[in-house]
Structure 1
Amino acid sequence: MAERRTLAAAVAFLSLLFGSGCASFPGGGGPSLQEEIDEIISTPPLDQVNWGIRIVDPDRGQILYSRHAHLKFVPASNMKVLSTATALSLLGPEYRYDTEIFGVGTLGESGSVLRGDLLLPATGDPTLSERFYPTAEAPLDSLAQGLWAAGIRTVSGALVVDVSRWDSTTVPGSWMVQNLSGTSGATGGAFSIAEGVLNIEVTAAEEVGSPARTIWWPHLREGALTVEVVTAHPDSTSRGRRVEYLPESRLLRIQGRIPLGSVDTIRVAQR
């Protein structure tokens, strides 16, 4: 029952903040907005939380509610709420990202050879992942198929990805090294494949003591990942692993043991 009351209070609070026409104002005959919010956040266990709230009427600029608004809080995952609300407000629910690729150079006489580079201006497209495609590489495959359909068979130059649309800051200064390998610390940016997450499948070898077999996706630069996982006895209780990121060498290292006959999938942040 306590969990239900907590959930109901949280839902009521969110409805009060984001719903339309659900709050009463002074003079309307009902409780004021301040009274409604104060009542909700004073309900256990919400009364054990530090709240920083500021609600402003966007049309009149009037402050409708303020509580500890001058204090500085670490937003943590709440930032997603603000980011999503801002995107919906500015872009709208029907907005679609465009990720395009261009040829920079000249075409040979046959039209199948590009003497130059391929340029991909990255836009921060968040859909380049398995949430929207069968695999993380599928959107890149579709770009390649588009080039093939256009008759391009050979490119003499390089693939240039322009990420200048976003700044290069991907790690807040307050983070610790331990935060860098977790999926919650995945690197964002103008061009992020699979939401910046690396999937690593570790399969035990056929003999105890032998190194486990490893595959991963999407592709990483050569030398970016080291896996030191050994196959253990099937009755072993020592299954465990340690994932760490070494900033000096930009290396992801995974160490540990895996019981014979087992397969583990590890998700870490791409770096």
Structure 2
Amino acid sequence: MPHRGRRRLGRRRVLGGLGLVLTVGAVVAGLVQATPSPSPSPSPHRLDPRIASIMRKPTYGHAQWGLFQQNPDSGEVVQSRYPDQFFIPGSSAKLFSVSGTWHSLGSDYRFVTPVHAVGRRSGPTLNGDLDLVAQGDLTLGGRTRKDGTVAFTNVDHTYANDLPGATLTPQDPLAGIDQLARQVRDAGITRVEGDVVVDARLFRPDPVLRPTPTPLIINDNLIDLLTSPGAGPGAPARLEWRPKVAPYRVTSTVRTVASGSPANIHVNSSPDGTRIRLSGTIAAGSAPALRVAPVKDPNAFGRTALIEALKRAGVEVRAAATGPNPDYRLPASYRSAPAVARYSSPTYAQYAELIFKVSHNLGANLGICLMATRTGSSDCEDGFPVLAQFLDDAKVDRKAVQLADGRGGNPVDRTTPQALAQMLTYWQHTSQAERFRRSLPILGVDGTLAGACRDCPSRGKVFAKTGTVAGGDALNDRLAVGAETAAGYLETRKGHFDVFFVGVNGASTSGADVTGVLDMGNDVADIAARLQQDAAGRG
């Protein structure tokens, strides 16, 4: 029986994302540090003194480290420090939620989004409506490369308001919508006398899951705002934005200032989100600065986007392009309403890679809702029993895991190092082992680990989901780092991998600058690299 009516916990937002090395799983104030165990469990192998020196840094004076490394084939425990204690996982918790969704849907599952013609056809005229039936497709073609894979950048646009260096993928966010519109035209429809409606009945958005998944998602429910410096100090900055859908309008008063200054750009939106204003400064000669604004009504946005795409494809729609989504017009079923267009997504394994590589919070939360739909439920809460059953079947100690979302961002989320190792061990013993492992960020290569250890011997030999939880310590004018974690696989020799967890809870930076958090991320990555090198040396 799913738990109903979860109480929403108040949170003061401090930063929405942290780190080029470790992307945040959550940013919360009032973090609760895990209660220390009486003493750490002894490790069978002596701890590398270089690892011990990292853990003894002054910044970790009041913190607690957890460490676990195990051979998943023999069961030999290589390193162990508080393996059964609860730790705040941050985005390492995505290993549980994405695994459950992957298992529930299947790695090769594709989301097929149809458009139905509801009404009577009279030659090229549809006397009725076109209904786009949303299926929970995470990207709807907006990141799909020509080879069918899903594109990502190491610092994703979903973190653009919080992280320096966020960039866009080159794909058109409206690619799937345009493809559906062309298919409608190819089906012989050139005029729609009724309306265009988004059918979002697949599941009800759950506001406890933040960011909140919706059945229809275009461009991660965001407007991208790219500011470039003008010709010189004092000149207006240049602005590009996408996707351009009515009635959204963007204006900018950002000015160019002398070179060497960081971008200081603020984004403000009207209550309905359709009027966006940028203000602030950008330095002359600097790289473009990306910001994002939320799409507050994804269904109305998607409806307008499809009407405009139909017009580009040569299909006239009688109804006004803008306005609320008229879902009151939806039929009880589509038995007598043929599909005149279908968009097929990349495989779920491709989406899992995107979620893992960039720590995609919306995609991880979406998985909870998708697991619910597999039971016939439209209540996202019903995804948790599906996840619970999967963890039981995978021989993960479910009582050693606490989750209230899919992203690892709820204040109650906890896991033990050993539970994460059990999850990783499950995959290592399946036919999907390599596919799952390579979907994780790879040290020095891509995703949230791209910037770490680029020239060290462990480059390309550590595969791990990272996590960060941080909030403002107003009393001491610094950042409280509830968690920096990494969990995944260490290549001990060719074709052989240990599972591992390394993480710290309860650390603090020396100031309010995000640099201290980035340094902690590098420390965790360095420890993972040392574990890999030590294991390879023993092998």
Is TM-score (shorter-chain normalized) higher than 0.5? yes
Hey, what's the Cα distance between the residues in 1 that align with 2:276 and 2:89?
A: 28
Q: 1:77-100, CA deviations, whole angstroms, 9 ceiling, x for partnerless residues?
A: 134222221122111111111111
Matched, 1:227 2:252: yes
Matched, 1:256 2:280: yes
Hey, what's the Cα distance between the residues in 2 that align with 1:68 and 1:83?
A: 20
Aligned counterparts, 1:160-239, within 5 A: 160-170=197-207, 172=209, 188-206=213-231, 208-223=233-248, 225-232=250-257, 235-239=258-262
Hey, what's the Cα distance between the residues in 2 that align with 1:217 and 1:171?
A: 28
Hey, what's the Cα distance between the residues in 2 that align with 1:238 and 1:82?
A: 41
Alpha-carbon RMSD: 3.7
Amino acid at match of 2:178: D
The corresponding residue for 1:86 is 100
Amino acid at match of 2:263: G
- Greater relative contact order (Cα < 8 A, sep 6+): 2
Which residue of 73, 76, 79 corresponds with 2:90? Answer: 76
Hey, what's the Cα distance between the residues in 1 that align with 2:203 and 2:93?
A: 18
The corresponding residue for 2:138 is 126
Hey, what's the Cα distance between the residues in 2 that align with 1:98 and 1:261?
A: 44
Conservation of the 8 A alpha-carbon contact between 2:67 and 2:79:
no
TM-fit CA distance, 1:114: 1.5
Amino acid at match of 2:278: I
Conservation of the 8 A alpha-carbon contact between 1:113 and 1:152:
yes
Secondary structure, in 3 states, of the residue corresponding to 1:139?
A: helix
Secondary structure, in 3 states, of the residue corresponding to 1:98?
A: strand
Which residue of 185, 190, 195 corresponds with 1:158? Answer: 195
Hey, what's the Cα distance between the residues in 2 that align with 1:222 and 1:153?
A: 24
Conservation of the 8 A alpha-carbon contact between 1:128 and 1:195:
no
Which residue of 113, 119, 131 corresponds with 1:105? Answer: 119
Conservation of the 8 A alpha-carbon contact between 2:253 and 2:280:
yes
Cα separation, partners in 2 of 1:150 and 1:265, compared to 1, 3 Å: farther
Q: 1:223-268, CA deviations, whole angstroms, 9 ceiling, x for partnerless residues?
A: 5644331133xx4333422334558554654322124455514142
Conservation of the 8 A alpha-carbon contact between 2:205 and 2:213:
no
Conservation of the 8 A alpha-carbon contact between 2:265 and 2:282:
no
How many residue pairs get matched?
211
The corresponding residue for 1:242 is 265
Amino acid at match of 2:240: I
Conservation of the 8 A alpha-carbon contact between 1:126 and 1:195:
yes
Amino acid at match of 2:260: T
Q: 1:13-42, CA deviations, whole angstroms, 9 ceiling, x for partnerless residues?
A: 4x66xx5x442xxxxxxx6xxxx3xx6341
The corresponding residue for 1:268 is 292
Conservation of the 8 A alpha-carbon contact between 1:201 and 1:263:
no
Hey, what's the Cα distance between the residues in 2 that align with 1:158 and 1:206?
A: 46
Hey, what's the Cα distance between the residues in 2 that align with 1:127 and 1:248?
A: 25
Structure (1 or 2) with the larger CA radius of gyration: 1
The alignment's TM-score, normalised by the length of structure 2, stands at 0.34
Q: 5+ residue gaps in structure 2?
A: 1-47, 55-65, 146-170, 296-539
Conservation of the 8 A alpha-carbon contact between 1:129 and 1:195:
no
TM-fit CA distance, 1:135: 2.1
Hey, what's the Cα distance between the residues in 1 that align with 2:222 and 2:94?
A: 17
TM-fit CA distance, 1:164: 2.3
Hey, what's the Cα distance between the residues in 1 that align with 2:276 and 2:282?
A: 18
Amino acid at match of 1:236: S
How much identity, in percent, do the aligned residues show? 28
Conservation of the 8 A alpha-carbon contact between 1:188 and 1:195:
no
The corresponding residue for 1:149 is 186
Hey, what's the Cα distance between the residues in 2 that align with 1:79 and 1:115?
A: 49
- Stretch moving more, 112-121 or 222-231: 222-231
Cα separation, partners in 2 of 1:153 and 1:239, compared to 1, 3 Å: same
The corresponding residue for 1:40 is 79
The alignment's TM-score, normalised by the length of structure 1, stands at 0.62
Hey, what's the Cα distance between the residues in 1 that align with 2:200 and 2:289?
A: 30
Secondary structure, in 3 states, of the residue corresponding to 1:144?
A: helix
Q: 5+ residue gaps in structure 1?
A: 24-30, 52-66, 176-184
